[in-house]
A = this chain, B = another copy of it.
């Protein structure tokens, strides 16, 4: 009796195995990011499967609810082995999507107040005596975020019988900045070329862009700037706007708005005008017409990001106008359509020889209150440029009348490109949690616009995404994309909790996998700081790339291009004096912070040389001399990479061979390069300090000339 059935089943099994085989060959290549939806352990899957058998959409569902349901189907099929059916009749085990106004919300005990347009509630409830899991939200966008929230919850192997979870973003604009050129090159990109195939758009709409949208929506990102801040005006021509519109069409169902970097001189370059002066009415008209043209094609276009009068970019300063005059002119063009201007405060003048760290504050703080309502000033986390560690930017809290957007860098321009593991969750958390000393509170509070009504708020992250198969150049770099999104959604999330979430979804929800991965993530950024730029040092990379060490470089044309400008090491000591005796950059901070950073005794060790030039025998808070402490931190950085390698080897049973091997290889690279940074830096600083190495410190593997002789042409991600 049983034989024919078994035979048929066996044949089916063979057929399925066959289908499986070739696909499996490339299945774990990192493409699926944290949305792998890998099968849960059977015990866990069995426990939740009965509660997740069906989906009931809200009445008259739109496209956003449709993709939310599709994602639940995909995720549950993966994790519990069975996709929920779509139902229109409530049954036990239904995932019930409820939008504002639905009477069943009250019955389910779901309160949508305070959730805003994007927040959601996940709640185990009873509706008409039927046990259900409610996803409640004011909008379909909230339902989508709630669906991803539920999948994230399940992906950590968690139960859902007593689910009661509320979540809402505190920041409105959660935006990726792609520094992608129209020729496909990504400035500071280490994961291949641009995702946007401008040549084939708008005809060919790469399905990968839908995966991009899914990934972003899953962590709450709701906007993306497609092109480099070093912008080409061509993006605003009709030919390119058609292509932009095609991308916008693909991202729209996921609640992601498209923005563009606008080149301030576009009216001249593509508009046929003689000037781009913001007070010239013809210029204003041109931008208004351009905005009209964009919105005719992309009704939900987000707005413009602008880098002006910085590093050679054109701007209002070319006409003697202020940043506010420039930004407001663009803002007026966008305002009728609801668009915003994100105006960058990263100004890096080509003529100002003062302390580079002071420029942004000096130019922008006096403009506080002079920007239109739909302008937000985008400020990097620190005053120089995405170094492994910088103190928070003095503009935060110092412009109470102006919305400030935090700009973080997800791509690791100065932190080892694609190969080094450097989890930026801790870096982002550090800056967000810092008390500005101003009434507004922490940087996160400033960014959330606390106490300022519902004015514009936002966080931007310079993307680390390219067309590499694994999106970000390495599996661990995916964690930085993830952490950016999660912290942009909720700055109060602890970096280690985010790390655990990511580890569970990316590798395995088993504790034996999560623990070492989280340990690696949590120690990684400090390791990079230690072996590259300890004790508040910064900007020590060699010329023509932002990769390897070059503390000896002092021959570049402009002073602030040189590492020697930043560390100022000589036989007597090291560090940049930004106290009152030096550049007095500390005066840009609130008084209490200025006092603390102004005195070496109260400046934390990890920022010491950012603010002070100190003798080599200065005592750190640990009691060791500055010289010994410097060497010790280099050594600690190297040792931490070895520890990361050891921890990674413990994950072998829980990680597929393909991703495990690649990460192990990258850790080997990191170990070698940590040693290179340490040795080159020690060799150089010793040549300057003329001090013996502390007892027990290993001499560099090569002499200084060797390190100076190394060249690395064709480094990826170059800016030119």
Bound CA–CA A665/B11 (angstroms): 37
A198 within 8 A of B: yes
Give A11 to B131 CA distance when docked, in angstroms: 26
A-B contact pairs, 21 of them (CB 8 A): A1-B1, A2-B2, A2-B6, A6-B9, A13-B13, A14-B81, A14-B82, A16-B20, A18-B78, A19-B20, A22-B32, A23-B23, A23-B24, A23-B27, A26-B31, A182-B714, A192-B193, A199-B714, A204-B662, A204-B669, A205-B665
- Please measure, in the bound complex, the distance between the C-alpha atom of A13 and the C-alpha atom of B13, giving whole angstroms: 7
A280 near B: Cβ within 8 Å?
Answer: no
Contact B24 A200, beta carbon cutoff 8 Å: no
Q: Is the CB of B12 within 8 A of A19?
A: no
Complex Cα gap A300–B671 (Å)? 32
A243 to chain B, nearest CB (A): 11
In the assembled complex, the Cα of A23 lies from the Cα of B183 at a distance in Å of: 31
Q: Mark A576-614, 1 if CB is under 8 A from B, else 0.
A: 000000000000000000000000000000000000000
Does B203 contact A665, Cβ atoms closer than 8 Å?
Answer: yes
Q: Is A615 interfacial (CB 8 A cutoff)?
A: no
- Against B, the Cβ 8 Å flags (1 = close, 0 = not) of A225-267 are 0000000001000000000000000000000000000000000
Task: Please give me the 6 A-B residue pairs with the lowest Cβ-Cβ distance, nearest first.
Answer: A2-B2, A23-B23, A23-B27, A14-B81, A183-B714, A18-B81
Decide: B21 and A77 in contact? CB cutoff 8 A. Answer: yes
Additional A-B contacts beyond A18-B78, A234-B713 (15; CB < 8 A): A1-B1, A1-B2, A14-B81, A18-B39, A19-B20, A20-B20, A22-B32, A23-B27, A182-B713, A183-B714, A192-B192, A192-B467, A200-B419, A200-B669, A467-B467
Interface centre among A11, A23, A32, A192 (most CB of B within 10 A): A23
Judge whether A101 is part of the interface by a CB distance below 8 angstroms: no
Contacts of A14 in B (CB 8 A): 81-82
Per the bound structure, the CA–CA distance linking A658 and B208 in Å amounts to 11
Tell me if A36 is interfacial: C-beta within 8 Å of chain B: yes
Asked if A84 CB lies within 8 Å of chain B CBs, one says: no
Q: Mark A689-720, 1 if CB is under 8 A from B, else 0.
A: 00000000000000000000000011110000
- Say whether, besides A5-B2, A204-B662, A662-B204, A16 and B18 are in contact (CB < 8 Å): no
What are the residues of chain B within 8 A of A11 when measuring CB–CB? 42
A545 to B614, CA, bound (A): 58
Q: Which of A369-419 contact B (CB under 8 A)?
A: 417-419
Q: Is A492 among interface residues, defined by CB-CB distance under 8 A?
A: no
Question: How far, in whole Å, are A668 and B202 apart by their CA atoms in the complex?
Answer: 12
Tally A residues with Cβ within 8 Å of B.
Answer: 60
Q: Known contacts A27-B22, A182-B713, A207-B658: does B16 contact A13 (CB below 8 Å)?
A: yes
Contacting residues, chain B, for A198 (C-beta < 8 A): 714
Is A469 part of the binding interface, using a Cβ–Cβ cutoff of 8 Å?
A: yes
Bound complex: CA A26 to CA B207 (Å): 10
Scan A31-44; emit 1 where CB is below 8 A from any B CB, else 0. 11000110100100
Q: Is A286 in the interface zone, CB < 8 Å from B?
A: no
Residues of B within 8 A of A24 (CB): 19, 23
Residues of B within 8 Å of A668, CB to CB, are: 203
On whether the beta carbons of A716 and B22 are closer than 8 Å, the reply is no
Contact B665 A204 (CB under 8 A): yes
Residues on B with beta carbons closer than 8 Å to the beta carbon of A205? 665
* A466 nearest in chain B by CB position: B193
A337 within 8 A of B: no
CB-CB < 8 A to A21: which residues of B?
A: 74, 77-78
Query: Is A15 among interface residues, defined by CB-CB distance under 8 A?
Result: yes
